[in-house]
């Protein structure tokens, strides 16, 4: 309380400085006049009385200065003087100061860049009403080598009916449909949701209305469209609400247009329409909305006011457990649920990755601060005489500390300003690197909060690197620097500088080791045999809508692939509903008569539906049996192909060919799942770049599953794959003008997109590690060079007394080696302690890879000793006669 | 921060000023310096300027107040008086000082016996 009052008095005093100065002058002169009068009365002469009064009163100038400092927070005049003086000091050593500003600019720039991304991804709330009450609800299932959090509709309906925790609970899953009847057929991504999506999010449409509860009913087809589609396809026509449009051959009524900034889900900015879950209901018992075995949905909820995530989590777990008792056939493996904050669920591991990167970049700044601090220490040594002189002339210590802090602050702010420039330049480049591998990263930019952050870290760094030198030099004793020749020095006095170097080396080791692990992991990811050959492969997608192809799909695809294979430049072509290395996959259970289990506990594996020649096109080897062929039709014996991992997992030591299984995949509303004979075994392929092992997979022939849409076309070419794009588009258009071809990419591109996140993590961390290493080495060089300069006299004496030059050389190198060794030791310990944080992002290497660690230590040792080489040579070449004479 | 030449024990000047104002009523800076000089029988080597630093500090704490008046010279001078809060503070500080002085005395006596 008393402190606050004092502060307030000072703040007020600051405002009234000038007036107070004047009245204080008056007070002092009155006091002096009274003193003088008293001495005159004792019989002194006027001159004597004046002198005695002054002696009695003390130093008027000092008092005024002290009074002024006590009165306000800062005195503009004094700070102005400090700043002017600081500027002169900066101008005096431009090279040294530029080195400091550059080091800081790199550190602050890197931090600001990373922070701009962290701000956009982690810190900004979701763009919905009361985002803190939004949660993701998952049906949690964990099996050997596989985990799933997707929900099935019947479970969702039960959750929605039974819970007490949520205001709204909404299911959603992505879809893509073809919009026809506009200028040209276009392929649109969209989302199938429950009716109350908009109330859940607290968003209202720009035009029209949201969905109504009855619009979830069988046969309803309504859509909300995005602002973008409204502009591009409907010319911003306000009468679009109520209009009927055709999506993949079905008539939908547009009920509303969403605002331009609306996005749902947050990581699907491309979504152009939203429709209700009525589209998943065909009225049969096999419909998605009725199938407790089809876990394909995500569920988002809005917590009731006052309900915590933990309470909701407990309630949903209880409901899931109840449902698993009620429906053992389907829910035995899905017997629990999980409620998690929506933002956290959206980000998943990415959050940890960003925090690791933020931590790494903070270390870089710390190293940069170390460098600047060391250079300031050097400068402080050079200025010892100046400080001693000023101190002797009456400057108090606080004044000197402040002077030095002002100078540090100026360097910090200059570095910060340059750092903002670096961030402006670097942020777009980093965003390109990230691509869409991090949700919301695209929103990042250097904005006001980010600049505020840059300012804050500039000030904080100034304190970090400025305080120690300021205090050290202000504490310095007065006499010795003033004495002649006081500059000579022996080893060991620059303890603070040495400690800083040791710390920098340690941090450098931690960063470089982390980068080394990510690089090792990335090389592993990029080089691992994926089981197929992604070169010269073009892939694209088009839809064959149920409205026209429900029964004729196999025929259509057979004709289409035949024509495709006939195009010049095409070596082979096939199709698959999922592409390897794209992190897609349906996990579907199957009945195995040799390993009977109750229905809810059937084994399951990733399933794919493919055309003939798909394996040939991807160069996936057929190891036993045969590929699918045109002879496999709906009427012919039902077959399947498994991969090697599947054969090993489910038929260990046996020949899987000829075995019969019944995958829970129906081939149409009227056809129940069929028993299938394993006709072939193919090599393993990686379904996702980040799979740690090859998953068991089975393949069904598209020709026997006419209800499954849509096959990705996969084309192996003898020419540049992308050069075939227009011919492929023309071919599809010639067969059906209402089918737009979409998502045209080479297989290499797809893998590149899949590796975007590991790649950007690797590139960023390597860049930071490189920066850290350079800063550390430069810092070490600086300290060694400085130490040699300071010891010139000592070295001269040694040489004059007959020390061999080689010994002097070794002495300097040994000093550097000791610093490096100490830093490396601490660094290794810190690395072993912190690297497990990276475990989730490492593939093909442990978190404590001795080869990486040894390599990093060798790198640091070699570059460090190189940095010490030059000063050591200079020390060796000291001319004793010159050294002894010069000081 | 404080002047090393000052022979007034650090931190005691504020207390002296408060006590003077409490005993004598409103005074200007010169007057305070005189009273302290008298009270100490001229033994205290007081740098009179520092009285003003103490006055400013005390005023900022709200323990004394000031207003302009006329000095013996018939010129404008600032007169300081103790506030109610200041009186309380004086009581606390006096107690505190007596405790410290008492402890010091006991300790010093101890040494003499040993």
Q: What is the 3-state secondary structure (H, E, C) of A622-665?
A: EEEECCCCCCCCCCCCCEEEEEHHHHHHHCCCCCCCCCEEEECC
Q: Which phi and psi angles does A676 have, rounded to 5°?
A: -125, 145
Residue B73 belongs to domain spanning = 12-113
Residue A782 has pLDDT above 90, yes or no: no
Query: Please, what is the angle between helix B29-39 and helix A17-41, to 10°?
Result: 50
Find the largest Cα–Cα distance for chain B.
Answer: 59
> Of A45, A73, A101, at which residue does a domain stop?
A73
Domain co-membership, A809 together with A789 = yes
* Contacts for A720 with CB less than 8 Å, ≥ 6 apart: none
**Structure-token pair, residue A733:** 């258009």
For A2, name the nearest residue in chain B, comparing CA atoms only. Answer: B61
pTM of the entire predicted model: 0.74
Considering CB atoms only, which of A2, A27, A63 is closest to B78? A27
Report the sign of the C-alpha dihedral through residues A144, A149, A155, A160, in that order. Answer: positive
Bridge-based pairing of strands A207-208 and A134-143 is unpaired
How many residues in chain B? Answer: 114
pLDDT of residue A288: 85
Residue B2 Cα, gap to closest chain A Cα (Å): 9
Domain co-membership, A673 together with A711 = yes
For residue range A122-154, list pLDDT tens digits in order.
Answer: 888 899 999 999 999 998 876 655 667 888 899
Helices (H) and strands (E) in chain A, counts: 29, 22
* Contacts for B89 with CB less than 8 Å, ≥ 6 apart: B18, B61, B63
Distance of CA A379 to the CA centre of its chain: 38
Domain co-membership, A309 together with A358 = no
* Contacts for A33 with CB less than 8 Å, ≥ 6 apart: B73, B75
Which helix or strand (DSSP H or E) is residue A803 part of?
A: none
Residue pointed to by tokens 């449902």: A323
Query: Is position A181 within any domain?
Result: yes
Residue B36 Cα, gap to closest chain A Cα (Å): 14
Domain co-membership, A378 together with A414 = yes
Residue pointed to by tokens 């939203």: A274
Query: Is position B28 within any domain?
Result: yes
Determine the Cα–Cα distance for residues A295 and A293; give it in Å rounded to an integer.
6
Residue B5 has pLDDT above 60, yes or no: no
Domain co-membership, A807 together with A781 = yes
Mutation site for A-interface testing, chosen from B14, B36, B49 by largest number of A Cβ within 10 Å: B49
Query: Is position B6 within any domain?
Result: no
Residue A357 Cα, gap to closest chain B Cα (Å): 45
Query: Is position A497 within any domain?
Result: no
Determine the Cα–Cα distance for residues A421 and A112; give it in Å rounded to an integer.
10
Query: Is position A567 within any domain?
Result: yes
Determine the Cα–Cα distance for residues A297 and A310; give it in Å rounded to an integer.
22
* Contacts for A288 with CB less than 8 Å, ≥ 6 apart: A153, A280, A281, A294, A296
β-sheet bridge partners, residue A640: A678
How high is the mean pLDDT of chain B? 82
pLDDT of residue B8: 63
Contact (CB<8Å) A30/B1 = no
Contact (CB<8Å) A30/B61 = no
Average pLDDT over residues A432-457: 85
- Dihedral angle of Cα A69, A473, A466, A828, to the nearest 10 degrees: -150
Size of the A and B interface in Cβ pairs below 8 Å: 72
Average pLDDT over residues A325-337: 84
Residue A576 has pLDDT above 80, yes or no: yes
Is the ipTM of this structure higher than 0.85? no
For residue range A195-248, list pLDDT tens digits in order.
Answer: 999 999 999 999 999 999 999 999 899 999 999 999 999 999 999 999 999 998
- A274 confidence band (pLDDT: 50, 70, 90): very high
3-state secondary structure of A698: strand
Query: Is position A496 within any domain?
Result: no
For residue range A706-735, list pLDDT tens digits in order.
Answer: 888 889 999 999 999 999 999 999 999 999
Query: Is position B7 within any domain?
Result: no
For residue range A361-379, list pLDDT tens digits in order.
Answer: 999 998 998 888 888 887 7
For A35, name the nearest residue in chain B, comparing CA atoms only. Answer: B30
Closest CA to A513 of A108, A833, A113: A833
Contact list in B for residue A26 (CB cut-off 8 A) is 76
Residue B103 Cα, gap to closest chain A Cα (Å): 27
Cα–Cα distances (Å) from A476 to A392, A472, A480, in that order, read: 12, 6, 9
Domain co-membership, A611 together with A725 = yes
pLDDT > 70: percent of chain A: 92
Domain co-membership, A702 together with A768 = no
Average pLDDT over residues A760-776: 89
> Of A37, A54, A73, at which residue does a domain stop?
A73
Edge to edge, what strands does the sheet with B64-70 contain? B27-28, B76-82, B64-70
pLDDT of residue A3: 65
β-sheet bridge partners, residue A509: none
Determine the Cα–Cα distance for residues A496 and A157; give it in Å rounded to an integer.
67
Query: Is position B5 within any domain?
Result: no
| Number of domains observed in the structure of chain B | 1
- A886 confidence band (pLDDT: 50, 70, 90): low
pLDDT of residue A581: 80
Closest CA to A320 of A140, A173, A165: A140
Mutation site for B-interface testing, chosen from A8, A31, A55, A474 by largest number of B Cβ within 10 Å: A31
Determine the Cα–Cα distance for residues A851 and A854; give it in Å rounded to an integer.
5
3-state secondary structure of A485: coil
Residue A271 belongs to domain spanning = 153-333
pLDDT of residue A496: 78
Half-sphere exposure of A725 (CA within 13 A, CB side): 11
Cα–Cα distances (Å) from A729 to A36, A686, A814, in that order, read: 106, 28, 70
Determine the Cα–Cα distance for residues B33 and B31; give it in Å rounded to an integer.
5
Query: Is position A57 within any domain?
Result: yes
Instruction: Evaluate whether A125 touches A455 at the Cβ level (below 8 Å).
Output: no
Query: Is position A535 within any domain?
Result: no
For A60, name the nearest residue in chain B, comparing CA atoms only. Answer: B49
Annotate A491-519 with b (16+ C-beta within 10 A) or e (fewer): eeebeebbbbbbbbbbbbbbbbbbbbbbb
Contact (CB<8Å) B76/A26 = yes
pLDDT > 90: percent of chain A: 35
Domain co-membership, A185 together with A111 = no
Domain co-membership, A662 together with A588 = yes
Determine the Cα–Cα distance for residues A56 and A59; give it in Å rounded to an integer.
9
pLDDT of residue A489: 46
pLDDT > 70: percent of chain B: 88
- A2 confidence band (pLDDT: 50, 70, 90): low
Determine the Cα–Cα distance for residues B33 and A785; give it in Å rounded to an integer.
58
How many residues in chain A? Answer: 887
Instruction: Evaluate whether A668 touches A554 at the Cβ level (below 8 Å).
Output: no
In this predicted model, which residue has the larger pLDDT, A272 or B71? A272
Q: Which phi and psi angles does A21 have, rounded to 5°?
A: -55, -45
Determine the Cα–Cα distance for residues B48 and A53; give it in Å rounded to an integer.
10
- A482 confidence band (pLDDT: 50, 70, 90): low
Query: Is position A144 within any domain?
Result: no
Bridge-based pairing of strands A712-717 and A622-625 is unpaired
In this predicted model, which residue has the larger pLDDT, B80 or A665? B80
3-state secondary structure of A151: strand
Domain CATH number, residue B84: 1.10.10.10
- A488 confidence band (pLDDT: 50, 70, 90): very low
Q: Which of residues 83-112 of B touch A (CB under 8 A)?
A: none
Query: Is position A177 within any domain?
Result: yes
Instruction: Evaluate whether A191 touches A269 at the Cβ level (below 8 Å).
Output: no
Please list the alpha-helical segments (H only) found in A327-396: 328-331, 342-347, 349-382, 384-392
For residue range B33-86, list pLDDT tens digits in order.
Answer: 888 888 887 777 778 888 888 888 888 888 999 888 887 777 788 899 999 999
Average pLDDT over residues A465-477: 71
In this predicted model, which residue has the larger pLDDT, B10 or A779? A779
Residue pointed to by tokens 């007065």: A478
How high is the mean pLDDT of chain A? 86
Determine the Cα–Cα distance for residues A746 and A752; give it in Å rounded to an integer.
10
pLDDT of residue A53: 87
Determine the Cα–Cα distance for residues A699 and A628; give it in Å rounded to an integer.
10
Average pLDDT over residues A92-97: 80
Structural Rg of chain A based on CA atoms: 37
Query: Is position B4 within any domain?
Result: no
Residue pointed to by tokens 């077959």: A639
Residue A596 has pLDDT above 50, yes or no: yes
| Number of domains observed in the structure of chain A | 5
- Dihedral angle of Cα A92, A93, A98, A99, to the nearest 10 degrees: -160
- A784 confidence band (pLDDT: 50, 70, 90): confident
Average pLDDT over residues A494-521: 87
Domain co-membership, A122 together with A163 = no
Bridge-based pairing of strands A186-193 and A207-208 is unpaired
β-sheet bridge partners, residue A207: A257
Determine the Cα–Cα distance for residues A694 and A686; give it in Å rounded to an integer.
6
Determine the Cα–Cα distance for residues A137 and A338; give it in Å rounded to an integer.
6
Determine the Cα–Cα distance for residues A682 and A616; give it in Å rounded to an integer.
10
Domain co-membership, A355 together with A278 = no
Residue A60 Cα, gap to closest chain B Cα (Å): 7
pLDDT of residue A698: 94
Residue A102 has pLDDT above 50, yes or no: yes
Contact (CB<8Å) A30/B75 = yes
Please list the alpha-helical segments (H only) found in chain B: 12-24, 29-39, 49-61, 84-113
Domain co-membership, A840 together with A875 = yes
> Of A739, A767, A793, at which residue does a domain stop?
A739
Determine the Cα–Cα distance for residues A209 and A274; give it in Å rounded to an integer.
13
């Amino acid at each position: 309380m008393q402190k606050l009052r004092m502060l307030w008095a000072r703040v007020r005093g600051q405002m009234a400085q000038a007036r107070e100065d004047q009245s204080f002058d008056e007070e002092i002169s009155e006091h002096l006049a009274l003193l003088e009068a008293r001495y005159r009365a004792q019989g002194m002469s006027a001159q004597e009385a004046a002198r005695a009064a002054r002696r009695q009163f003390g130093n008027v100038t000092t008092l005024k200065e002290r009074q002024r400092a006590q009165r306000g927070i800062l005195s503009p005049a004094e700070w102005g003087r400090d700043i002017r003086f600081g500027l002169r000091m900066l101008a005096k050593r431009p090279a040294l100061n530029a080195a400091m500003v550059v080091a800081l600019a790199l550190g602050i720039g890197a931090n600001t860049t990373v922070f701009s991304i962290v701000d956009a991804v982690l810190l900004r709330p979701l763009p919905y009403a009361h985002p803190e009450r939004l949660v993701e609800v998952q049906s949690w299932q964990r099996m050997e080598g596989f985990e799933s959090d997707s929900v099935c509709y019947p479970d969702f309906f039960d959750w929605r009916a039974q819970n007490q925790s949520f205001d709204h609970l909404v299911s959603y899953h992505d879809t893509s449909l073809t919009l026809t009847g506009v200028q040209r057929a276009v392929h649109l991504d969209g989302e199938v949701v429950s009716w109350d999506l908009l109330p859940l999010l607290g968003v209202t449409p720009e035009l029209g209305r949201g969905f109504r509860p009855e619009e979830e009913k069988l046969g309803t087809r309504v859509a909300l469209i995005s602002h973008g589609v409204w502009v591009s396809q409907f010319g911003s026509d306000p009468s679009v609400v109520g209009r009927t449009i055709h999506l993949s051959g079905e008539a939908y009524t547009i009920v509303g247009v969403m605002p331009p900034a609306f996005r749902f889900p947050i990581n699907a900015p491309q979504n152009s329409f939203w429709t209700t879950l009525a589209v998943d209901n065909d009225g049969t018992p096999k419909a998605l909305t009725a199938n407790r075995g089809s876990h394909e949905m995500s569920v988002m909820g809005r917590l009731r006011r006052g309900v915590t995530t933990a309470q909701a989590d407990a309630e949903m777990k209880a409901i899931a457990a109840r449902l698993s008792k009620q429906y053992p056939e389907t829910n035995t493996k899905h017997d629990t649920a999980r409620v998690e904050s929506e933002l956290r669920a959206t980000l998943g591991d990415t959050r940890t990755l960003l925090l690791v990167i933020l931590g790494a970049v903070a270390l870089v700044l710390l190293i940069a601060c170390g460098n600047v601090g060391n250079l300031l220490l050097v400068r402080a040594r050079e200025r010892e005489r100046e400080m001693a002189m000023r101190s002797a002339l009456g400057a108090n210590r606080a004044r000197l500390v402040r002077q030095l802090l002002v100078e540090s602050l100026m360097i910090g702010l200059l570095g910060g300003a340059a750092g903002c420039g670096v961030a402006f330049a670097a942020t777009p480049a980093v965003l390109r690197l990230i691509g869409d591998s991090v949700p919301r990263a695209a929103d990042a930019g250097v904005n006001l909060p980010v600049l505020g952050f840059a300012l804050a870290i500039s000030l904080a760094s100034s304190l970090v690197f400025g305080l120690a030198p300021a205090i050290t030099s202000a504490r310095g004793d007065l006499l010795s620097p003033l004495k002649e020749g006081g500059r000579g020095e022996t080893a060991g006095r620059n303890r603070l500088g040495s400690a800083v170097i040791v710390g920098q080396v340690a941090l450098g080791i931690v960063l470089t080791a982390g980068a080394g692990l990510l690089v090792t992991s990335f090389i592993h990811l990029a080089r691992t045999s994926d089981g197929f050959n992604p070169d010269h492969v073009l892939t694209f997608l088009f839809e064959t809508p149920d409205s026209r192809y429900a029964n004729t799909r196999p025929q259509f695809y057979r004709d289409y692939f035949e024509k495709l294979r006939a195009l010049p430049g095409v070596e082979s072509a096939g199709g698959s509903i999922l592409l390897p290395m794209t992190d897609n996959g349906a996990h579907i259970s199957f009945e195995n008569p040799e390993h009977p289990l109750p229905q809810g506990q059937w084994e399951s594996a990733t399933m794919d539906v493919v055309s003939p020649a798909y394996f040939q096109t991807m160069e996936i080897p057929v190891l036993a049996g045969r590929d699918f062929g045109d002879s496999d039709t709906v009427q012919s014996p039902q077959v399947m192909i498994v991969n090697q991992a599947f054969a090993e997992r489910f038929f260990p030591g046996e020949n899987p060919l000829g075995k019969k299984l019944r995958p829970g995949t129906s081939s149409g509303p009227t056809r129940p799942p069929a028993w299938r004979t394993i006709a072939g075994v193919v090599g393993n392929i990686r379904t996702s770049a980040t799979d740690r092992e090859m998953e068991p997979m089975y393949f069904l022939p598209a020709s026997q599953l006419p209800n499954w849409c849509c096959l990705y076309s996969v084309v192996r070419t003898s020419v540049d794959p992308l050069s075939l794009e227009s011919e492929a588009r023309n071919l599809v258009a010639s067969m059906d003008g209402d089918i737009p071809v979409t998502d045209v990419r080479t297989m290499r591109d797809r893998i590149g997109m899949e590796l975007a996140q590991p790649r950007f993590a690797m590139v960023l961390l390597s860049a930071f590690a490189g920066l850290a290493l350079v800063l550390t080495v430069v810092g070490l060089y600086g300290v060694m060079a400085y130490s040699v300069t300071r010891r010139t006299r000592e070295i001269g004496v040694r040489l004059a007394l007959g020390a061999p030059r080689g010994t002097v050389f070794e002495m300097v190198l040994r000093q550097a080696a000791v610093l490096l060794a100490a830093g490396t030791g601490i660094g290794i310990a810190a690395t072993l302690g912190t690297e497990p944080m990276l475990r989730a992002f490492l593939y093909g290497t442990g978190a404590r890879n001795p080869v990486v660690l040894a390599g990093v230590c060798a790198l640091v040792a070699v570059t460090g000793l190189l940095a010490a080489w030059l000063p050591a040579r200079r020390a060796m070449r000291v001319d004793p006669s010159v050294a002894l004479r010069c000081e | 921060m404080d002047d090393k030449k000052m022979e007034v024990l650090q931190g005691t000047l504020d207390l002296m000023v408060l006590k003077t104002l409490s005993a004598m009523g409103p005074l200007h800076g010169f007057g305070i310096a005189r009273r302290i000089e008298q009270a100490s029988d001229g033994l205290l080597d007081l740098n009179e300027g520092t009285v003003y630093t103490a006055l400013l500090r005390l005023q900022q704490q709200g323990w004394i107040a000031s207003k302009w008046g006329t000095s013996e010279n018939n010129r404008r001078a600032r007169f300081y008086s103790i506030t109610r809060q200041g009186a309380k503070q004086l009581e606390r500080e006096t107690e505190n000082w007596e405790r410290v002085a008492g402890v010091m005395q006991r300790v010093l006596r101890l040494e003499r016996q040993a």
